[in-house]
Amino acid sequence: MLRRFAAASRSSAKLVAPLGCLVSRQKHTLPDLPYDYGALEPHINAEIMQLHHSKHHATYVNNLNVAEEKYKEALAKGDVTTQVSLQPALKFNGGGHINHTIFWTNLSPNGGGEPKGELMEAIKRDFGSFANFKEKLTAVSVGVQGSGWGWLGYNKEQGRLQIAACANQDPLQGTTGLIPLLGIDVWEHAYYLQYKNVRPDYLKAIWNVINWGMYLQDMQLAKSRVEFLHRLLKCHQFYSDTTLVVPVAYK
Ligand SMILES: [Fe+2]
Cα 42 to averaged position of ligand 1 atoms, centre (Å): 18
> What pLDDT is stored for residue 159 in this prediction?
79
185 carries a ligand binding annotation: yes
Q: Which of the listed CATH numbers 3.55.40.20, 3.80.30.20, 3.40.50.300, 3.40.50.2000 matches domain 117-226? A: 3.55.40.20
Cα 131 to averaged position of ligand 1 atoms, centre (Å): 26
Cα 10 to averaged position of ligand 1 atoms, centre (Å): 33
d(CA 230, CA 214): 15
> What pLDDT is stored for residue 80 in this prediction?
95
Which residues are registered as beta bridge partners of 189? none
Cα 13 to averaged position of ligand 1 atoms, centre (Å): 30
d(CA 123, CA 118): 9
> What pLDDT is stored for residue 239 in this prediction?
35
CB of 82 within 8 A of CB of 108?
no
Whether residue 18 is preceded by a cis peptide bond, meaning omega within 30 degrees of 0, is no
Which residues are registered as beta bridge partners of 185? 149
189 carries a ligand binding annotation: yes
Cα 149 to averaged position of ligand 1 atoms, centre (Å): 9
Q: How far is CA 133 from CA 14, 68, 77, 152, 196, in A?
A: 35, 38, 49, 9, 26
100 carries a ligand binding annotation: yes
Render each residue's pLDDT in the chain as its tens digit; 251 residues. 333 333 333 333 332 333 333 444 578 889 889 899 999 999 999 999 999 999 999 999 999 999 999 999 999 999 999 999 999 999 999 999 999 988 998 899 999 999 877 778 888 999 999 999 999 999 999 999 999 999 998 887 887 889 999 999 999 988 998 888 889 999 999 999 999 999 999 999 999 999 887 554 444 455 555 555 555 544 333 333 333 333 322 22
> What pLDDT is stored for residue 17 in this prediction?
33
Domain 46-106 has CATH 3.20.20.450: no
Q: What is the per-residue burial (b if ≥16 Cβ within 10 Å, else e) of 106-144?
A: bbbbebeeebeebbbebbeebbeeeeebbeebbebbbeb
For the beta carbon of residue 46, count every other beta carbon within 10 angstroms.
13
Cα 230 to averaged position of ligand 1 atoms, centre (Å): 22
CB of 120 within 8 A of CB of 213?
no
The helix or strand, by DSSP H or E, that contains position 67, with its residue range, turns out to be helix 58-77
**Domain residue ranges of the chain, discontinuous segments joined by +:** 46-106, 117-226
